A and B are shown apart, each in its own frame.
Chain A
Amino acid sequence: MSEQVAVLETGARGVGAQASAPPDTQVQWLSLEHAAYAAVMVAAAIMRFANLGWAPLNSLEAAHAWPAWLAGSGQHVVNAPSRRARCFTECNRCCSLSGRMASSGHGSFRPSWACCWSACPGSGAVGSGGIPALLLAVFFAVDPWLVVFGRTADSTGLTLFFALLSLTALWRWRTATNRAARVGWERIGAVSLAFLVVSGPTAWSFIPVLLLMFFLFVWPITAEDRRTGALPSSLLWFAGALLLGATGFLMRPEATRAVAGSLTAWLEQARPGTGMAYPFWWPWVRLVADQPFLVIFGPIGLLVLALGKGEPRHGRRLALFLGVWLLWAVALMLLPGRSPFVLPLAGIPLAIAAVSVFGPLSKLHIDHISGLEITILIVVTTILLGSSAVWLAKLVESGVFSSEAILAAAILLGLMFVVWIAFGFWAGWEPALKLVGFFFLAVLLALTIHSSWLLNQETRLMRPSGFWQETTLPEARLLAQDIQRISSMRTGDPTQTEIQVITPDDPDPVLCWLLRDFRNVLWLRAPRSSTVLTDYPNDQPLIVTGAELAGDPVLANYLGSNYGIRTAWSIDQLPALPPVAPDQQGLPQEELERLRAQQAWSLSTQPRLEWLLYRNVKNSPVVAPVTLWAASAGN
C-alpha cells in the first residue's frame, strides 16, 4: 500500500513512502523534495511581499487598521468607525504591533498577514502526497486569490491559514499510526480550530467544511480508533486557545463579543443590501479571469476522483467531500451578499481536485519515449500554441474584428490537437496523456501566475482588477503630505494644526488612516451650520470634505484643492453595446446588422477581452476625490 507523503511531515514519512527505493535515490529524493518546498516558500514570499506597500490601505483594510492603531497607541476617537471592525482581537493586536514597528508605512499592517500566509503552502496539502502535494503547494504559493488575501490587512488570510491547518490536522489525526501522533495532531487541530473561530467572519464558511470532513473521514473509523485520542485535554486546549484568541491574550476581555459579531457579519451575506454588492455573475467571471488552471483541471480532477481513478485509498469519498464543499461554495456565491471572501472557498477544493489528476498521471509510463521525441513534441506544440496566442492577441488589440485572425488561430490550435493525436497513435496514449497533462499544467500555471501578477502587482487606474469594489490611489498620500507642509508653516510642527473632516456619514476609514498622525483632527457630520471653533482664534482650521460639499455655504471663505483618494470600478462598468442611433435606423437591414456586429465587437466584446487578458480599460474609472480647504488670505 502506498503511503501518502504529507507536506509537513519530513524524514520518517518520506522514508516510509519510498521504502522500496535504493538508499542513494531515497536520500536524493528527500533533498530534492525539501529543496522544492523551500523554493515554493520563497516564491510564495516573493508573491506576497513584492511591492507590498505600494498602494495605501483600502477601505476594508483601513477599517481594521485604524481602530487597531488607536487601540495600540492608547487613543480614543469619539466617532471612530470601530464598530465596523469585524476582526477578532488577535488580528487587531497584530495590526497594532506591526503598526508601532512601522507606523509611517502605509503597507505597515500587511506584512503580518503576508508572513502568515507564506507558511501556508506547506500546510496546504491535505493528504494528496507526492507530486500532487507539491503541485498543490506550488499552486497555493501563486494562486491569485490566496495571494490577494495574503497581501491584504484583513483577517481572511489568517482564516484561510487556520482553515487549512485544521483540515490538515483532521487528516493527520485520521491517518496517524500511533497514539502520540494522534494526540499531537488532535491538539494542533484544537488550537487551530479555536483560532479559526476567532479569526473573522470568513471562518464560518469553513466550519461546515470541517464538519463535513469530520463526518466523512473521521467519524466512520471504529470507536476503538477514536478512543486513542485525548479528547478531554484537547477540549481544554481548544477552550484555552479560544479564550486567548478572543480576548487578545486576555488583554481585552470585552472582545469576546467579536466572535458572535463575526458570525453576524457572515450571516449578513444572506441578506440583500448589506455590505458589499457584487452581481450574480461576478464570481464566475473571476473564476475565468483569474483561475485558468482551476477552470480546466478542477472539473477533470473531480471526474477522475468520482470515477475512482484517483488514489485508491480514498476511494470516492474524497470526490464526495470536494463535491459537497464546492456545492456549499456555490450556495454562498448565490447569496445576495456575495463578496470576494467566498472565492477561496471555491478555489481550494478545485485546486485539490485539480492536482489529484497528476497523481495517476505521474504514474503513467513514458520510458519507451526518447527525450528527442518529447522535446520535438513540446517545441512544436509551443510554437503552434504561441502562434495561435499571437493571432488572438492581435485580434484583441485591434479595434476591428478580423475573421482571418480567428481562422488562423483556430487552424493553429487545430493543428496542435492533430499533432497530439498523431503522437498518441505513434507513441501510445499513456505517454501522450501524461505529456499533454503536464504540458498544459505548465501553460495554465504560467497563465495563473500571470493572472496573479495582474491582480496583485499591476492594478493601476487604467488597469483595474475589479476584485475589490474600491481601490485607494497612491496619490492619496499627497493629502497628508500637504497638510504636514501647511502645519509646519503655521505651527512649526507638521502634525499640530487643527483639521476638521466633514462627512455626511461616519468617518471614512481611509481618511482616518491617512490622517492618523495628526493630533488635532475633529470628525464632524454634515450638514453643518458652522465649522469655526472659537478655541482656535488665530488660524482657521483646515477642512477636508468630500466633493458633495463643495458648494456648502460654510466654505464660502475657503480655497480648495482636490486629491484623488479612491477609485471605484467594477466589471459591469465595461461598456455595453449602445442602442441603435437615430441616424442608423434608416439603413438597410443587412447593412445595419453588419454595422451592429462591428459595433458589438469594438464597443462591447473587444473591451471585455482586453480586460480579461490584460486588465486594460479605455475609460478611466471614476475617482472619488476629497477637497482640502484652507482659509483664503483675507480671512
Chain B
Amino acid sequence: MQMLGQFLAWYIVVMLIGLAALPLTLRLFENLPDRGYAFARILGILLTGYLFWLAYSFGLVRFEPGAAWLVLLAVLGISVLAARKQWSAWRTARATINWRYVLVVELLFLLAFAAWATVRAYDPAANHTEKPMDLMFMNSIRGSAIYPPQDAWLSGQPISYYYFGYWMLTTLGQLSGQPPEIAYNLGQACWYGLLLTGSFAIVYNLLRLAGRRFNVAAAGGLLSAVMVGVAANVQGILEWLYAMGVPIGPIAAFFQVPGFPQEAAVTGKWYIDSGWWWWRSSRVIEDLDLMGNHIEVIDEFPAFSYILGDNHPHVLAMPFVLLVIALALNLLLARVSRAQSAPASGSVTAQRAFARLHALMPLGWGGWLVLALATGALLFFNTWDYPFYWLLIVAALFFALLWEWRRSGDQRGVAWALGLAVAAGVGMAVAAWLLYLPYFLTAQSQARGIIPNLFNPTKLPQFLAMFAAAMLLMGALVWLAWREVRPKLVQLVGVGAVVFGAPILFLLVSGFIVANTEAGAEMRAGMALPDGAQGHAPFMLERWLGQPFTFLLLGVLVACVLALIWRRTAPDVDFDASPAARPLLFALLMAALGLGLVFAPEFVFLRDNFGSRMNTIFKFYYQAWLLFGLAGAYTATIALGGWRGWRIGPAIMSTIAVVLVLASTVYILAGAYAKTGGLSGEATFDATAYLAAASPDEMTAIQWLRANTRPDDVIVEAKGGSYRVNMNRVSSMTGRPTLLGWDGHESQWRGVAYGKMAAGRAEALEAIYRAGAPEQIEALVDQWGIDYVFVGPAERTAYGVTPSSEERLRRVMDLVFESGAVTIYRAR
C-alpha cells in the first residue's frame, strides 16, 4: 500500500504539472498536429524546475516543498496568461485535441511508468556502479536550503557538475512528498515514461504531417518509442541466441565484440542468467593502444541505461532533448500570415529581421524565450548535448526563414536566411548563457580541447553490431529522399569532397605534427610504442588502411544526406506542394545530425581525464541512437507503406531493420528480469533500504544523523574512491558534506581546479583517523569546520581504527552515538 501511495503521489504530481503547462504547450506548439500535448508534462517539469532553481539561486526561496508548490502555481499562472487569447477559440474548436491520441499518450506513459516502477521496486538499491554518486547529488540538493547546492563529497564547495537532472528529480520529490531515496527510483521510472511518450509524439507528428492516418501515425510513433527506449543493439540479440544454444559462432566472429562468445554461457534460460551478461552490449566497440591492449569504449543506449539504473545526466536529459527536437520541428513548420510577412522588396534591416523572427514563433518573443530556455537547459542537463541540438534548431530556423521569404515572393536566397538563422542561434546561445548564469558561475569543466583519433578507426563489424538497424534505415531514408528530390552532381561531389577531404586532411596534418614535431611530443609520450617499432606514423597508416570501412560508410551516408539537404534549399523546391516534404526534410536533418555524431569520433575526440575516445563515443553515440530511432521509425513507417516499383528497396531494408529492432526487445525484458533477480525479494522504492540488512549499525547511525544533525553539518568519513560503494555512505544518503568523498570523480568534475580545492584533505583524514594527536585533531576540526566524525566499518578498515586509537577522538570530542561498530563524535 505504501508503495502504491508513493507511486500515485508521484503520478498525480506529474499530471498536475502537465495540466498546469498544458495551455502554454497548446499555444506554443500550434504548428504540430498534436499541438504538443505529449510534451506538456516535459515542458511543465522544465518550467517548474527552472523557475524554482532561478528563485533559489537568487535567494528568494529555500529548497522546500512550499517553494516548489508556489513555483508550480506560478507556472500555472504563466501558462494561463500565455494562452488567454486562445480560450474562446479553443472553446469553439471541437477538434483542438484528438481524444484518441490523448488516450494513447496517457496509456503509454502510465504503462511505461508503472512497468519501470515495478522493475525499480525489485532492484532499488543504490549500492553499485555510480548510484551512490547520483544519490549524493540528490541529497546534497535537498539538504542545501540556500544557493548554491553544496557538494557533499567536498565540504565547503558547491556542486561542480551538470546537476539539473538531479534538481528535477529532487524537486518532483519535494512536490510529491518523497525523500531522495524514493525519488531516485520513482523518478527514473517516470523519466522512462517521458522518454517513450516524447519519442512517440515526434514521429506521430511527422507522420500526420506526411498525410498518414491516425492508426498509421500511431503505429509509427510506437515503433519510434520501441526503437529509442526498448530496443537494443545487435549484440543484445546475439547474447540471447547464444544462451539458447543457437550456433551463431560465425556471426559472433564477424562482429568481433570483445569477450563474446568466450565469456558468455549457454544457459537455455530465456533471461540468460542472473549475471551482468547485458553489460557487454554497451561495450561492443573496442579500441586498442599501440601495444594492442584493450581500451574501454562505452556505447550505451537507453535500454541498457535503464537496466543499469543509474540516474546519470545523459539519461535524465533525454526527455528534454526530445522537447527541443519537438520545438525544432514546430519551428520548421512555422508559417507567417501574409499580414505579418515583411514586404518582398527592400533591404533586410535589423528591424525587419526581428519582426520576421517574432512572427515565426507562436507567442512571439515569449516563444523564443521558451526555446532559449529549453535548449539552454541542455547545457545544464548534459552539456555535451547542447551544440548538437543548437545546430538542429538553427537548421530548422534556416529553412523556416528561407521558405517564408520565398512564400512572400522574396528571392533573397540562402545566404540571408543562413545569416539570420545563425545570428538568431547566437542570440539564443547568449540568452541561454544568461538564463543559466548562476550555474556557470559555480561550474568547472574537465574538457580541454580536442584530440585527433589517429590510431583507432572503428571496426565496421563492431559499428554494425551497434547500429546495423539504424544504418539500414538511414540507407532507406536516403533512397526515399533521393527519389523525391535528387541532388545535383556538383552538390554531391562538393559535399563529398568536404566530408572526406576535411577529416583526412586533418588526420594527415595531425599525424605529421604528432609524429615529427615537438608540439606533438606530449601526445607521443602518452602512446607507448612496442619494442622494435620505428615510429607512430606506420601504426597510423596500418590501422587506417586496415579498417577504413566505417569511415567510408559513414562518409558516404553523411555526404548523401547533406547533399539532399542542400538540394532542398534550391528555389525550385516547393515545400507546400507535398505534405510529406517538410517532415521528410526534418527526418533528413535528424539523420544528418545523427550520422555526424557517429562520424566525428572517427577522426576526433574530446580531451578529458580519460585520454581516450571512451567518453566522446559514449555521449555522441547516445544522442545518435535517439536521432536514428526517430528518423528511422519515420522512414520505416513511410517505406513499409509502399512496395511497388523502386519503393521495394527501402521497404526491404526497413523490414530487415524492424525485424532486428523487434527481435532486440528481448534484451530489455531478459535484462530487467536478470537484474531484478527474477522480480524476487522484497519490493521497495527506497534506494537505501538494502543497508538495513547489509549493515544495520550504519543504517541506524544514518537515521540518527538525519534526525539529529543539520543539513549543513560537516560529517567526516573516510576518503572514498571511485565506485567504492561501501564508502561515503553517510554523505551519499544524508547529503551532509564530508571532507573528501570519491576523489576520482571530484577530479573529473573539477579538472585543474581540483588540486587546489582538495589540498590537505586526505592528510587531515589520515591525522583524524589514524595517527594525529588530540591537539592536532582539535586544530583540524577547527580548520575544516568539522561538526561530527563518523567511525564505521569503512573507516576502521581504511585507517585501522581501533578502540584504543579512538581514545584520541574521545579526548577532544563528545561521543554522541554508538551502535555496534559505529560511533559518532561531535565537536565541542
Q: Measuring CB to CB, which residues of chain A are less than 8 angstroms from any residue of chain B?
A: 253-254, 256-257, 259-267, 270-271, 525, 527-530
CB pair A267 B815 closer than 8 Å: no
Q: Is the interface of A mostly helix, strand, loop or mixed?
A: helix
Closest residue of chain B to A530, judged by CB?
B828
CB pair A263 B60 closer than 8 Å: no
Q: Is the interface of B mostly helix, strand, loop or mixed?
A: mixed
* Bound-state Cα–Cα, A525 to B827, Å: 11
Pairs across A and B, CB under 8 Å, 11 listed? A257-B59, A260-B62, A263-B65, A263-B70, A266-B66, A270-B177, A271-B177, A525-B826, A527-B815, A528-B814, A529-B814
Selected contact of B66 from candidates A253, A254, A262, A525, CB within 8 Å: A262
* Bound-state Cα–Cα, A256 to B67, Å: 11
The reply to whether the CB of B30 lies closer than 8 angstroms to some CB of chain A is: no
CB pair A263 B815 closer than 8 Å: no
Neighbouring A residues of B70 by C-beta, 8 Å: 259-260, 263
* Bound-state Cα–Cα, A429 to B123, Å: 74
B29-84 contacts to A (CB < 8 Å)? 59-62, 64-67, 69-70
Closest residue of chain B to A260, judged by CB?
B67
Nearest-CB distance from B9 to chain A (Å)?
11
Nearest-CB distance from A336 to chain B (Å)?
12
Neighbouring B residues of A266 by C-beta, 8 Å: 66
Neighbouring B residues of A262 by C-beta, 8 Å: 66
The reply to whether the CB of B816 lies closer than 8 angstroms to some CB of chain A is: yes
Which of A253, A260, A263, A530 lies at the interface centre, i.e. has the most chain B CB atoms within 10 A of its CB? A260
CB pair B828 A267 closer than 8 Å: no
CB pair B177 A257 closer than 8 Å: no
Nearest-CB distance from A583 to chain B (Å)?
45
Known: A527-B814, A528-B814, A529-B814. A263 touches B59 (CB 8 A): no
CB pair B62 A263 closer than 8 Å: no
Nearest-CB distance from B610 to chain A (Å)?
41
Interface string of B808-828 (1 = CB under 8 A from A): 001000111000000000101
CB pair B60 A257 closer than 8 Å: yes
Which of B59, B65, B69, B810 lies at the interface centre, i.e. has the most chain A CB atoms within 10 A of its CB? B65
Nearest-CB distance from A453 to chain B (Å)?
37
Nearest-CB distance from B717 to chain A (Å)?
21
Neighbouring A residues of B177 by C-beta, 8 Å: 270-271
Neighbouring B residues of A528 by C-beta, 8 Å: 814, 828
Nearest-CB distance from A597 to chain B (Å)?
41
Known: A254-B59, A271-B177, A530-B828. A260 touches B66 (CB 8 A): yes
Closest residue of chain A to B813, judged by CB?
A529
CB pair B69 A263 closer than 8 Å: yes
CB pair B64 A264 closer than 8 Å: yes
Closest residue of chain B to A525, judged by CB?
B826
Interface string of B120-135 (1 = CB under 8 A from A): 0000000000000000
Neighbouring B residues of A530 by C-beta, 8 Å: 828
Which of A257, A266, A267, A529 lies at the interface centre, i.e. has the most chain B CB atoms within 10 A of its CB? A257
Selected contact of B67 from candidates A253, A254, A264, A525, CB within 8 Å: A264
Closest residue of chain B to A256, judged by CB?
B60
* Bound-state Cα–Cα, A129 to B765, Å: 75
Nearest-CB distance from B806 to chain A (Å)?
14
The 10 A-B residue pairs with the shortest CB-CB distance in the complex, in nearest-first order: A263-B66, A264-B66, A260-B67, A264-B64, A260-B66, A260-B61, A264-B65, A256-B60, A257-B62, A267-B65
Known: A254-B59, A256-B60, A257-B59. A529 touches B828 (CB 8 A): yes
CB pair A267 B69 closer than 8 Å: yes
Closest residue of chain B to A264, judged by CB?
B66
Closest residue of chain B to A529, judged by CB?
B814
* Bound-state Cα–Cα, A254 to B61, Å: 9
Nearest-CB distance from A40 to chain B (Å)?
37
Which of B61, B66, B67 lies at the interface centre, i.e. has the most chain A CB atoms within 10 A of its CB? B66
* Bound-state Cα–Cα, A259 to B67, Å: 8
Closest residue of chain A to B708, judged by CB?
A505
Neighbouring B residues of A263 by C-beta, 8 Å: 65-67, 69-70
Closest residue of chain B to A197, judged by CB?
B70
Neighbouring B residues of A529 by C-beta, 8 Å: 810, 814, 828
CB pair A257 B69 closer than 8 Å: no
Neighbouring A residues of B816 by C-beta, 8 Å: 527
Closest residue of chain A to B710, judged by CB?
A83
* Bound-state Cα–Cα, A261 to B59, Å: 13
Which of A256, A263, A265 lies at the interface centre, i.e. has the most chain B CB atoms within 10 A of its CB? A263
Neighbouring B residues of A257 by C-beta, 8 Å: 59-62, 67
B582-602 contacts to A (CB < 8 Å)? none
Neighbouring A residues of B62 by C-beta, 8 Å: 257, 260-261
Which of A256, A267, A271, A530 lies at the interface centre, i.e. has the most chain B CB atoms within 10 A of its CB? A267
* Bound-state Cα–Cα, A271 to B70, Å: 19
